[in-house]
Homo-oligomer: A and B are copies of this chain.
Amino acid sequence: MLYFHNDYNEACHEAVLKKIQDNMGKQMGGYSEDSSCERAATLIRQLCGNNDLAVHFLVGGTQTNLTVIAASLRPHQAALGVATAHINVHETGAIEATGHKVIGLPTEDGKIKPEQIRDTMEAHLADVAHEHIPQPKMVYISNPTELGTIYSLSELQAISDMCKAYKLYLFLDGARLGYGLAAKGNDVTFADLARLTDVFYIGGTKVGAMFGEAVVISNPVIAEDFRYIMKQRGGMLAKGWLLGLQYEALLEDGLYLKIAKHADAMADRIREVLAKCNYPLLVEGVTNQIFPILPDCILDKLQEDFTFSEQERIDQEHRAVRFCTSWATKEEAVDALCNALINFSK
């Protein structure tokens, strides 16, 4: 069986494991107060071109989302995102469990539009009963989105401007950030993210690490006492240097974007074959997630050799599914999938 159902089905890039191996037997300070985390944070500040950024390391995405949001909002404030946002649909109500409503706006491509932010805020402010409604205070976006699309620099700039105009925090979930920044046509950099958001993270779990998300905070209001909240939410890893080591391995020689680029290239090949076979996509994307609409009969055959995940039923004979590549995806596996697609569609 070849796994295409997610991008976290192999342990980690060999360079990551090697870095851990090389540091076995060393005694280190606890809770990310160690030299490795400090080096990794410095690497990140350099990538972002800003020495004042707060950088913290957490283990997973849901943990990171709930910790950042708990650190940012007062009780009556809500996070604003698209209806398909990870925090809105796939975290078992983790944000609500911190007390905050998630407001999901309609989307077709997984992206929020600046006009949606403006309209929501104008409606809130105009409502004489606005104290009876959660106060939107943070815009949550993912890049790449849950649908594999990416924001352009000008889109991010417009969203950031809109957030500033309405005094909203901008939080960018970068669980798959590498696959976005490495994608064809991307014009966004780490430095842009640090400049345009109040807080974002550089996802490790899905991009070469065993686990780990590096949170980058430019807004001092959110940064204040962040470690208290990490600890409170169960997110402060005792052996924090394991996170530092992994980010050192991923960032010191550009490995992070290099392996992400490989995943995107593998996905591009699959997209090309799908196009050739005239299979439409649910959403056009440029990253490692592909959402083809395929006939049930083809999917039945594919699932004998390949894993993929279900997205939605389109009609009685077709459904949209998701294929994921990753830093670990082998060319031969992609060949096999492409050949199967071609053969079954004959």
- What copy number does this chain have within its complex? 4
A91 interfacial by beta-carbon distance below 8 Å = yes
CB neighbours (8 Å) of A205 from chain B are 238-239
Q: How many residues of A contact B (CB 8 A)?
A: 76
List residues 144-158 of chain A with CB under 8 A from any CB of chain B.
none
Contacts of A135 in B (CB 8 A): 92, 225, 228
Q: Quick check: is A229 within 8 A (CB to CB) of the other chain?
A: yes
Interface membership of chain A positions 214-232, coded 1 if the CB is closer than 8 angstroms to chain B and 0 otherwise: 0000000000010111011
Q: What separation, in Å, do the CA atoms of A21 and B10 have in the docked complex?
A: 12
Scoring A14, A26, A205, A232 by chain B CB atoms within 10 A of each residue's CB, the highest score goes to: A232
Which of B1, B9, B67, B78 contacts A234, CB < 8 Å?
B67
* A316, CB-defined interface residue at 8 Å: no
Instruction: With both chains docked as a complex, state the minimum distance between the C-beta of A143 and any C-beta of chain B, in angstroms.
Output: 19
* Smallest CB gap from A90: residue in B: B132
Contact digits for A43-82, partner B, Cβ 8 Å, 1 yes 0 no: 0000000000000000111111011001100111010000
Q: Is the CB of A25 within 8 A of B8?
A: no
CB within 8 Å of B: which A262-318 residues: 310
A320 adjacent to chain B (CB < 8 Å) = no
B134 A92 Cβ-Cβ under 8 A = yes
Chain B proximity of A319: nearest CB distance (Å): 13
Residues in chain B near residue A210, CB distance under 8 A: 239, 242
Is A174 an interface residue, CB under 8 A from the partner? no
On whether the beta carbons of B27 and A238 are closer than 8 Å, the reply is no
Q: Is the CB of B91 within 8 A of A60?
A: no
Contact B133 A89 (CB under 8 A): yes
Q: How far is the CB of A79 from chain B (nearest CB, A)?
A: 11
Q: Which of B12, B24, B76, B100 contacts A229 (CB 8 A)?
A: B76
Within 8 A of B (CB), among A111-164: 128-129, 131-135
Contact partner of A93 among B28, B90, B92, B134, CB < 8 A? B134
The list of the 7 closest CB pairs from A to B, nearest first, reads A63-B234, A76-B228, A93-B134, A92-B232, A93-B101, A3-B27, A92-B231
Q: List 27 A-B contacts (CB under 8 A).
A: A8-B238, A8-B239, A11-B20, A12-B24, A14-B24, A21-B21, A62-B236, A66-B234, A74-B225, A90-B132, A91-B231, A91-B232, A92-B134, A92-B135, A93-B100, A93-B101, A94-B232, A96-B99, A97-B99, A99-B99, A131-B227, A131-B231, A135-B225, A205-B238, A205-B239, A211-B237, A211-B242
